[in-house]
Amino acid sequence: MGTARERILDAAEELITAGQVPPPLDAVAAAAGVSKGGLLYHFDKQTLLQALVTRAVHRFDERLTAAAAQGLMAVAWLRLSVPTPGERTMYRAIMSMMRLTATGELDLPGEVGAAERRWQQMLTAELGDPVRARLVRLVGDGLFLAALTGPPPTSAEVEELLDHLGLSVTTGEAGS
């Protein structure tokens, strides 16, 4: 069932996915099956939110690093920018948590900036051009926002973009 820390993070993630952003600590403790004191032993509100962001970044990083090892980082970046129906709620929850940075409720952990720089470097290494790498990043960001604010781009539209950008359109597991 995992450590208490992992159960707390899982419970907080589920509450956020259900629309409770930020999740009330009492609700997180109850959902994790720990006392509020047990929760506070591991996290306060700020560190809980930071841990959730860090966890999401690590998950995304694992997928991108694996794709980069196959020379498919750019393809994976664009495909991962459009959440599947099952991921859409979680992506929205992540965006909600990011909005908390504007109110001062959440300071993003350093891992976020480090990951962004690493992803840019991986894209640049793969594409051989920092401007083209930045273009791919910005197109991915646009796809992400489009998917969250309106009808998401279809897989066919993403594949058309990949083709138009001259990127490999191998249908492997790079972004799936």
Please report, rounded to a whole number, the percentage of residues in the chain having pLDDT higher than 90.
Answer: 52
Which runs of consecutive H residues, i.e. helices, occur in 33-84?
36-42, 45-69, 73-80
Q: Is 29:42 a contact under the CB 8 Å cutoff?
A: no
Q: Which CATH class is domain 1-43?
A: mainly alpha
CB burial of residue 171 (10 Å; 0-12, 13-18, 19+)? exposed
Please report the pLDDT score of residue 152 as a whole number: 83
Domain ranges (residues) in the chain? 1-43, 59-176
Is 92 or 127 the better-scoring residue by pLDDT? 127
Q: Global pTM?
A: 0.80
pLDDT of residue 100: 78
Question: What is the tens place of the pLDDT at every residue in 49-61?
Answer: 889 888 888 988 9
